[in-house]
Amino acid sequence: MNAGFIGLGIMGAPMAANLLKAGFPLAVYNRTPSRCGPLQALGAVACETPAEVARRSDVVVTIVSETRDVEAVLFGPDGAAEGLRPGSVVIDMSTISPAATVEFAARLRAQGVDMLDAPVSGGESGAIEGRLSIMAGGPREAFDRCLPLFEAMGRKIVHTGGNGNGQRTKLVNQVVGSLNLLAVVEGVRMARAAGLDPNVTLEAVGGGAAGSWMWSNLGPKIFAGDFAPGFSIRLHQKDLRLAKESLEELGLDAPGTALLHRLFTEALDRGLGEQGNQGLFNLWS
């Protein structure tokens, strides 16, 4: 199976590397071409356009920033749609609007191409280690066909239903994860103010009912003052906007998500957008 990969950012680059390591012939495209270099060194063919990637591939993976960016790489000038053959599959692993996803899937289906929306969770470390959680929506048959690719990138791979359900599931993930991140930030602030030892606190709290991915992965970074991005505040604010919109469409009162959306928007306004999401801490520092 020839694979293609569009978007070699913090997540995309290691995910593409894992496809190469699993033996898939890989064509890659990145808007900033220099990011293709490390993948070429591992055996990937660098392409000048998404259309060229599609022409070389049976399955094309996209992982770019936002809804409009997925639309651009699929349907813009020289977009993948220009090179896709009937029978091929597009897997979008970005986190974007569920409604737009359903529309993109219909546009691709009209040209005989199946789409899977398969956003991920697990952060940069999960991408590097091939341990992502992958929540896929779309035709079951296409999901089954693409399973070997998913297995090269992730550990927990779940078919969540039709197109859009992958993104809807990811937004549930973001509501739960974001509220937990705020809890971690508040807990670290409290520990600091109380003069507690960081390592002792991390160990004690991490071993009990409050232990979590956020606590174990981002807690140590916050204590250490490491705000380099694994997942940027800019992209996290985008996810909270999508989650808030979905909750409103569902008619649900969601005070936690509303608060998180407001705090992340404030962080953006204060110029923290390119920090990692643990930089939420800096709203109070």
- List the one residue out of 200, 36, 12, 17 whose CA is nearest residue 95: 12
- List the one residue out of 179, 160, 166 whose CA is nearest residue 240: 179
Of 50 and 191, CB closest to ligand NAP: 50
Least separation, in Å, of the C-beta of 66 and ligand NAP?
7
- List the one residue out of 81, 22, 92, 25 whose CA is nearest residue 49: 81
**Beta carbons of 45 and 56 less than 8 angstroms apart:** yes
Q: Which parts of this chain interact with ligand NAP (CB under 6 A)? A: 7-12, 30-32, 35, 63-65, 69, 72-73, 94-95, 120-121, 123-124, 230-231, 235, 239
Of 92 and 114, CB closest to ligand NAP: 92
Least separation, in Å, of the C-beta of 273 and ligand NAP?
11
Query: For 114, which DSSP code?
Result: E
How many degrees, rounded to 5, is the angle at CA 118 between CA 61 and CA 251?
A: 140
Of 200 and 228, CB closest to ligand NAP: 228
Least separation, in Å, of the C-beta of 12 and ligand NAP?
5
Least separation, in Å, of the C-beta of 72 and ligand NAP?
4
Q: Which of 21, 156, 170, 244 is catalytic?
A: 170
Known catalytic membership, residue 156: no
How far is the CA of 177 from the CAs of 17, 39, 48, 94, 198, in angstroms?
26, 31, 36, 17, 22
Q: Taking CB positions, which residue lies at the least distance from ligand NAP?
A: 9
Of 11 and 47, CB closest to ligand NAP: 11
List active site positions.
170
